[in-house]
Amino acid sequence: MSSRGNFSGRIGFILAAAGSAVGLGNIWRFPYLAGQNGGAIFLMIYLGCILLLCYPIMVGEIAIGRAANSDAYGSYSKLGGRKWGYLGLFGILAGIMILSFYNVVAGWAFGYFLHISFGDLLNEPDFGGFFGTYVNDIIDLSSWAGFSNSNLVFSLIFMVLTALIVAQGIQKGIEASNKIMMPSLYAILLGIIVYSLTLPNAISGVQFYLVPEFSELKVRTIVDALKQSFFSLSLGMGALITYGSYLSKLENIPTSARVISLADTSVAFFSGLMVFPLVHFLAFKLNIDPQQIGTSGPPLIFVVLPQIFHEMGPVLGRIIGGSFFLLVCFAALTSTISLLEVPVAYLVDQKKMQRKSVVWLIALLIFVLGLPSMMSQGMVESLNKLTFYRGNDFLTFISDMSDISLTVGGCLMAIFISRRWGMDKFDEEVAQGNDRYLNSGTRKFLHFSLKWAAPILLGFLSVLIIVEKFFGVENLF
Ligand code: TRP
């Protein structure tokens, strides 16, 4: 292998790619999207998207990276010529955009972890009010319960942690940190689920989550499920091209992709299984209808869950609540490192820059790019209500633009593989490390999806998402 770095083996790669996939998307966004879209019916469509569209694109992304042994830009241009390189650049920019707002939300979670574990956030009389002030006033210098209360500081620390890991390189940084964080994450998640299932009224939460209500099915549900599946599996912008470029030719790509998808999907599924029983427990405690608890929207884990931890009493609340936010931080950190690695790999490969210096440079740049998102939660009025974006805030705008770039990126990626690189070359790459691939049903399925299903469906749905976002035709659907 070259000096670019490589994963030590199969487990290292799978854990790192699963770490990239499992993130705030699973724990923060999946449960509220499922809640908004009728629970089980959303889950079913989500699984359909993963099987039909995401899995093939994932195999494709990893194969592109491994075949070209280069970063996102380098891989596309090596296999498809300079013009296709722009698709790689587009992906790298999308990654920068995602990390800029993602790190802000990760900072919120990091602050909650500190405040719940070591401070007394759980004694708040009004969690909604607290969260509103918390995200609004980013430079609140008053220290609160012994900690700084500033989001600026929290997200700066988060970015520094991310950079420290990425600066260590593939094996010593990315792989080693995932080997610690991923198993811990699973252990905490399963622990909280077991506990939450013992609470009163838990079963009604499970029912809401698992019994489909077909009348809830709308075009909106499909669009939400699709964008969530791409975001959650880290697809469409070259993160897996980059990780795939550090993978050995001896490894089996379709099997690895299956394990990664399963790992990610199980965490999303389990997060729902953790959250809905908790929400129904809260409804029971407060003697209200669960529908009245605003499970929709970003505040779910920052407003509703702390209220639930509060109900658990001071000691248990601190333990369960603290563990929950530690889990969120681990999930976010394994994702932020994969996002940072994409532009870093580009500069290391293409501009022959030193990894260590590039990492700090890019991390600082992305942190600064995140400031408008951070200030858009109330602090700066004009960012809080974007006139050109139907009054939504800047963070929502950037997050929506990311969603669009991922499905558009995925669509173009499928077109690239089937129409430019060619299915023969794709097969040749995938067959390495997988002797039986050429005669398998997997191959037929991948061909069908990459040639037809993915380009057509992703193209069509991307247009729908764009129309919906910019013109707000929610009611049409
Ligand atoms: N998949 C991560 C999550 O669900 C986020 C993420 C990390 C990501 N790397 C990515 C999303 C690359 C898109 C592309 O939280």
262 belongs to a structural domain: yes
- Rounded to the nearest whole angstrom, what is the distance from the C-alpha of residue 126 to the centroid of ligand 1? 32
User: pTM of the full predicted structure?
Assistant: 0.95
- Rounded to the nearest whole angstrom, what is the distance from the C-alpha of residue 25 to the centroid of ligand 1? 7
Instruction: Out of 105, 264, 339, give the residue to mutate to test ligand 1, the one with the largest number of ligand atoms within 8 Å of its CB.
Output: 339
Residue 112 and residue 118: Cα distance in Å, rounded? Answer: 10
CATH number, domain of 325, equals 1.10.4160
- Rounded to the nearest whole angstrom, what is the distance from the C-alpha of residue 35 to the centroid of ligand 1? 21
The more confident residue out of 124 and 397 is: 397
Cβ–ligand 1 distance for 30 under 6 Å, the answer: no
pLDDT at 417 over 50: yes
* Average predicted confidence (pLDDT) for the chain: 93
65 belongs to a structural domain: yes
Q: Which domain range does residue 152 map to?
A: 10-471
What pLDDT is recorded for position 144? 55
Which residue has the CA at smallest separation from atom 10 of ligand 1?
234
Atom of ligand 1 nearest to the CA of 26: 4
What pLDDT is recorded for position 266? 96
477 belongs to a structural domain: no
Q: What percent of the chain has pLDDT over 70?
A: 96
Cβ–ligand 1 distance for 98 under 6 Å, the answer: yes
Cβ–ligand 1 distance for 261 under 6 Å, the answer: no
467 belongs to a structural domain: yes
What pLDDT is recorded for position 1? 41
**Number of domains composing the chain:** 1
Give the tens place of pLDDT for each residue, 343-378: 999 999 999 999 999 999 999 999 999 999 999 998
423 belongs to a structural domain: yes
What pLDDT is recorded for position 250? 97
What pLDDT is recorded for position 300? 84
Instruction: Out of 231, 330, 398, give the residue to mutate to test ligand 1, the one with the largest number of ligand atoms within 8 Å of its CB.
Output: 231
pLDDT at 446 over 70: yes
Cβ–ligand 1 distance for 232 under 6 Å, the answer: yes
Atom of ligand 1 nearest to the CA of 332: 15
What pLDDT is recorded for position 233? 98
330 belongs to a structural domain: yes
476 belongs to a structural domain: no
Average pLDDT over residues 419-437: 98
Atom of ligand 1 nearest to the CA of 235: 14
Which residue has the CA at smallest separation from atom 12 of ligand 1?
234
Reported as a pLDDT band with limits 50, 70 and 90, residue 142 is low
3 belongs to a structural domain: no
Cβ–ligand 1 distance for 24 under 6 Å, the answer: yes
pLDDT at 140 over 60: yes
Residue 57 and residue 245: Cα distance in Å, rounded? Answer: 16
- Rounded to the nearest whole angstrom, what is the distance from the C-alpha of residue 122 to the centroid of ligand 1? 30
Cβ–ligand 1 distance for 465 under 6 Å, the answer: no
Reported as a pLDDT band with limits 50, 70 and 90, residue 456 is very high
